[in-house]
Structure 1
Amino acid sequence: MTATTRITTPFTAESTAAEVVDGIDLTGRRVIVTGGASGIGIETARALAGAGAEVTLAVRDLAAGERTAEDIVATTGNKQILVARLDLADQSSVAAFTAAWDGPLHILVNNAGMMASPEMRTPEGWELQFATNHLGHFALTTGLHRALAAAGGARVVAVSSSAHLRSPIVFEDIHFREREYEPWSAYGQSKTANVLMAVEATRRWADDGITANALMPGGIRTNLQRYVSDEELERLRSQSGAAGVSWKTPEQGAATSVLLATSPLLEGVGGRYFEDCNEAEPHQPGTRRGVAAWALDREAATLLWQVSVEALAA
């Protein structure tokens, strides 16, 4: 497959995670799903467990994680569902999680996130959406690099968003120390970071057999939108041309994540952005579809990686 070939699949916006993984055997594969106890994380984990994988739910709330694990065991019959605590906004939590991981890791689904929150900061002074959505996942993924390399053909799946179209990485002021804080710009920047990280991880780690891809799951009503009112969501949907378009179910929202984690069509393919189970076209102005050029920019991807390493080392 050439670098310029756009990947298309038989699946669509209506496809479910179970349909995407049907016929794929993940027996013996080890998976981590961050945010695996809510929203599309639950259905991502359920579909991967249903295909036979050992799935670790990496969650902030252990009680919710245990309830979800019991539900997945009951619905799939797969008893290999584990729960571990992970708070992506807390670097000591991320370090403890990666230190405790033992053995190979075949699939890492960076699914957890927060959306359009009021201005908040970590103890390091980092803007919380960027700290959670990007820096936490960056520390997690790099901390698990050895485990991913040991798996042979490991995949990293980054759950991004069409909101990446709202903002590139503003390297001059990532953390809104000088510019006025705007929740959606902050969210958009963090989602651009998810795509850029997939681009750079694939470039750096291809020799280790590791590939990373990003995706937009679609519009799904989940706890992710806890900071966003129903009126605000509908206003945004009308602006994007999505008004009147039905919301995806969580099972449909998880489909693209599961596709990137398992499809034979993605073997050896990385650094790309998908929506509705197919590789996205370049963004067309006036729409909320496609991928922004800034999210696939290799120089920005390299710079973001360097900035992230420096932030974590400080």
Structure 2
Amino acid sequence: MITTGFGFETTALQVVEGVDLTGRRAVVTGGASGIGVETVRALATAGAEVTIAARDIDAGERVATALAKSTGAHISVAHLDLSSQASVKAFARNWDGPLHLLVNNAGVMATPLTRTPEGWELQFATNHLGHFALTLGLFNSLRAEGARVVNVSSSAHLMSDVVFDDIHYAHREYDRWEAYGQSKTANILFGVEAGHRWAGEGITMNALMPGSIATNLQRHLTQQELQDRIRQSGATATRRVKTPEQGAATTLVAATSPLLEGVSGKYLEDCNEATPAEPGNHLRGLAAYAQSEESAAQLWKVSEETLWSLKAA
């Protein structure tokens, strides 16, 4: 088990204290809001050159300007809409040179049933397929220098395995939380299979649970719905809420800790490797199905075939 000495209350800036990322280039998807901003701030403070990949360019520019002024780092902005494969391809095509750190942070949560132009369910399309295509599109830049890929997952993965028989809800009743859950399970399984496929490429990939943080990610939920989810989870104690600074800390552990050098396929929470989830607990721990090597290999195959189908169309 990987234990770091950090914990629930640790902030992103505390994680990178003493870390030197000078000369390293990073991309943070969704870096213009929520924990993405704090992730960018911490990486820039440590000396990295950071690109904010965001749907809202104006919001990205405002964040970049403010953080560049406070950190003295070079921070740029590029458009990226993960629900659009054309946008993902354009971002990867326009990237030039090596990439040392890719933080797959952006996402959508508990949306009403929405389909992309391809007919894909929006949460899976954005949270997994978008990041899958982006990472593969940037593969040569990641491989050139050796790199870390960090996938921001969630305890919501405990709500659902990836339902391969009907990922996009073509035949089963849509449940927005299960849909979110399977997309977050996919974030973890992606790293499990990448660890096997890319072991000799100098690229590592790990996933994490940032914690419960009040951000724009919850924009589709009422406060009552949030409280209902906690109660329905079977939790026996009040769920503690992190600040965005604390929420980004586990991302920075995955991105910078020497304990994860050369390591793939891990799932972290509260800045340490997560333990197996206990039955009935939907708030903490790692589901066994999210570590299944068989499911991880199947997910990779299905994801590639899904993306290939666009080229054949």
Fold in common (TM above 0.5) = yes
Q: CA deviation at 1:130?
A: 0.2
| 2:56 counterpart residue number | 61
| 2:43 counterpart residue number | 48
| 2:5 counterpart residue number | 10
1:134-182 CA distance string (max 9 Å, x none):
0000000000111100012x10000000000000010000000000001
| Distance (Å, rounded) in 1 between the aligned partners of 2:18 and 2:52 | 23
Equivalent in 138, 142, 146 of residue 148 of structure 1: 142
| Distance (Å, rounded) in 1 between the aligned partners of 2:120 and 2:238 | 37
- Confirm whether residue 73 of structure 1 aligns to residue 68 of structure 2: yes
- Confirm whether residue 208 of structure 1 aligns to residue 201 of structure 2: yes
| 1:188 counterpart residue number | 181
Moved more, 226-235 or 108-117: 226-235
Q: How does 1:119-130 map to 2 (within 5 A)?
A: 119-130=113-124
- Confirm whether residue 290 of structure 1 aligns to residue 285 of structure 2: yes
Q: CA deviation at 1:237?
A: 2.2
Q: How does 1:228-307 map to 2 (within 5 A)?
A: 228-240=221-233, 241=235, 244-287=238-281, 288-307=283-302
Q: Please give the root-mean-square deviation of Cα atoms over the aligned residues, in Å.
A: 0.9
Q: CA deviation at 1:286?
A: 2.4
1:28-68 CA distance string (max 9 Å, x none):
00000000000000000100000000000000000000000
Q: CA deviation at 1:242?
A: 7.0
Kindly indicate whether the alpha-carbon contact (under 8 Å) linking 1:86 and 1:94 is maintained by their aligned counterparts in 2. yes
Structure 1 runs of 4+ with >2 Å offset: 237-246
- Confirm whether residue 137 of structure 1 aligns to residue 131 of structure 2: yes
Unaligned runs of 5+ in 1: 1-5
Kindly indicate whether the alpha-carbon contact (under 8 Å) linking 1:21 and 1:48 is maintained by their aligned counterparts in 2. yes
- Confirm whether residue 225 of structure 1 aligns to residue 218 of structure 2: yes
Kindly indicate whether the alpha-carbon contact (under 8 Å) linking 1:237 and 1:243 is maintained by their aligned counterparts in 2. no
Give aligned-pair identity as a percent.
64
1:231 is paired with a residue whose SS is: helix
| 2:32 counterpart residue number | 37
| Distance (Å, rounded) in 2 between the aligned partners of 1:32 and 1:275 | 22
Distance 1:264 1:227, change over 3 A: same
| Distance (Å, rounded) in 2 between the aligned partners of 1:148 and 1:205 | 11
| Distance (Å, rounded) in 2 between the aligned partners of 1:214 and 1:49 | 21
| Distance (Å, rounded) in 2 between the aligned partners of 1:311 and 1:134 | 12
1:208 is paired with a residue whose SS is: coil
1:176 is paired with a residue whose SS is: coil
2:28 is paired with a residue whose SS is: strand
| Distance (Å, rounded) in 2 between the aligned partners of 1:242 and 1:19 | 30
Which TM-score applies when normalising by structure 2? 0.97
| 2:23 counterpart residue number | 28
Q: CA deviation at 1:238?
A: 3.1
Equivalent in 85, 88, 94 of residue 88 of structure 2: 94
| Distance (Å, rounded) in 2 between the aligned partners of 1:225 and 1:171 | 26
| Distance (Å, rounded) in 1 between the aligned partners of 2:5 and 2:150 | 20
| Distance (Å, rounded) in 1 between the aligned partners of 2:57 and 2:270 | 31
| Distance (Å, rounded) in 2 between the aligned partners of 1:236 and 1:183 | 12
Q: CA deviation at 1:220?
A: 0.1
Q: How many residue pairs are counted as aligned between the two chains? A: 307
Q: CA deviation at 1:100?
A: 0.4
| Distance (Å, rounded) in 2 between the aligned partners of 1:236 and 1:172 | 26
Q: CA deviation at 1:243?
A: 5.3
Q: CA deviation at 1:234?
A: 1.4
